[in-house]
Amino acid sequence: MTSIDSNPTSAPRHIVVLGTGGTLAGMATSAEDNVGYTAGQVAVSQLLAAVPALQRRCAEGWSIESEQVAQLDSKDMSHAVWRRLAERVQWHLDRPEVDGIVVTHGTDTLEETGYLLQRVLAPTKPVVLTAAMRPASAAQPDGPQNLADAVTVAGQVGARGVVAVLAGKVWLGSEVRKVHPYRPDAFDAGDAGPLAHVEEGRLRLLRDWPTGTPLGLQVLAADIWPEVQIVVSHAGADGRVVDLLMEAGVQGVVVAATGNGTVHHDLQAALLRAQSAGVAVVRALRGGAGCIVPTGHDLVPDAGALTAAQARVEVLLRLLSRRA
């Protein structure tokens, strides 16, 4: 599916921007420092006020409101913040006057939050995550353009689902992953590719918007979430870490596997012991693109094209669903 909306701003839209911090809200002591900054320093309302394109939207009749849900470096994302964010997203989605939502987020765990929000909410309105690879204090920050593009997508008539907008590309929240530690064009979706491009304030859609059946907010209601950890298969790997996790009461284990979902035989033996003891065990990609192709004699289920971090969220949600 390929289309260009030639007049995406024909009617004023009502957009809510929820801030959670990240590099987009980061500050460094020098405008030339793009790595030695402190994330989550600038309020989301200040970020919006500094983007001329958004002021022009408001002059055209758009309503853009903001709320600070959290203020953190996304490497420190917690289950509690996830639940709070999902609750606030759903609250605003339920407001009939709201057309779309933008979430400012750090890049480090954006792929996890995007996956969780899509699985839990599967919204019929657009929920757009955006971020930055350069802090707000940078001489050439990428955050302002990403914010402007995110609002454009959130205001698109017919848009739905959780997506991420960065560097002019729109990714599905369930597919996006960070693939580079430094450059502004740091995200990808493996073989799936982008959903759309944002070009001069217009959206060029490459395939259809995401759909799905929401798990519902009740799945996140537990005060104590299951313990799900990630282990990595590598040369010389053994099963000691899995055995220790079992002693600690782990309920789920994702193994970041080599090749086509292969796992070192010593590590696999420990994983099979855990699986036999009732621990949810899943194989996921260690890196790169593609999808684990089933062999027909796999002893541990696979997570398809999900990254290990996304697979952990999936296992977590499955375990939470049993309690809901």
| 312 CB burial (10 A radius; 0-12, 13-18, 19+) | buried
**Residue-averaged pLDDT of the chain:** 95
Q: What is the DSSP string of 27-68?
A: B-SSTT-SSS-BSS-S-HHHHHHT-HHHHHHHHTT-EEEEEE
Instruction: Report the alpha-carbon angle 218-224-229, nearest 5.
Output: 105
pLDDT tier at 7, thresholds 50, 70, 90? very low
**Residue 100: what are its φ and ψ, rounded to 5°?**
-165, 165
Tens digit of each residue's pLDDT (9 = 90 or more) over 225-280: 999 999 999 999 999 999 999 999 999 999 999 999 999 999 999 999 999 999 99
What whole-number distance in Å separates Cα of residue 15 and Cα of residue 274? 46
313: closest CA among 234, 230, 257?
A: 230
Residue 176, classed as helix, strand or coil, is coil
Question: 216-227 pLDDT, tens per residue?
Answer: 999 999 999 999
Reduced to 3 DSSP states, what percent helix, strand and coil does the chain have, rounded to the nearest 5?
Answer: 30, 25, 45
What mean pLDDT comes out for the span 93-110?
Answer: 98
The structural domains of the chain, ordered by start, are 3-205 (3.40.50.1170), 224-323 (3.40.50.40)
Asked if 64 contacts 48 with a C-beta cutoff of 8 angstroms, the reply is: yes
- DSSP state for residue 70 in the 8-state scheme: E
Catalytic residue among 9, 20, 23, 104: 23
Output the pLDDT for position 288: 80
**Residue 262 annotated in active site:** no
Average confidence (pLDDT) over 284-303: 93
**Packing angle, helices 110-121 and 308-323, rounded to 10:** 40
Q: Is the pLDDT of residue 132 over 50?
A: yes
Give dist(CA 222, CA 270) in Å, integer: 29
Average pLDDT score over residue span 32-52? 97
Share of the chain above pLDDT 90, in %: 95
Tens-digit pLDDT profile for residues 186-210: 999 999 999 999 999 999 999 999 9
Q: Which amino acid is at 96?
A: P
* Lowest-confidence segment of 76-85, 215-224, 288-297 by average pLDDT: 288-297
What are the angstrom distances between the C-alpha of 127 and each of 15, 194, 250?
Answer: 10, 16, 32
Confidence (pLDDT) at 6: 38
What does the pLDDT look like over 12-38, one tens digit per residue?
Answer: 999 999 999 999 999 999 999 999 999
For residue 35, what are the CA distances in angstroms to 129, 181, 188, 274, 298? 22, 10, 21, 40, 42
What would the pLDDT profile of 146-193 be if each residue is shown by its tens digit? 999 999 999 999 999 999 999 999 999 999 999 999 999 999 999 999
**Residue 10 confidence class, pLDDT cut points 50, 70, 90:** low
Is the pLDDT score of 2 beyond 50? no
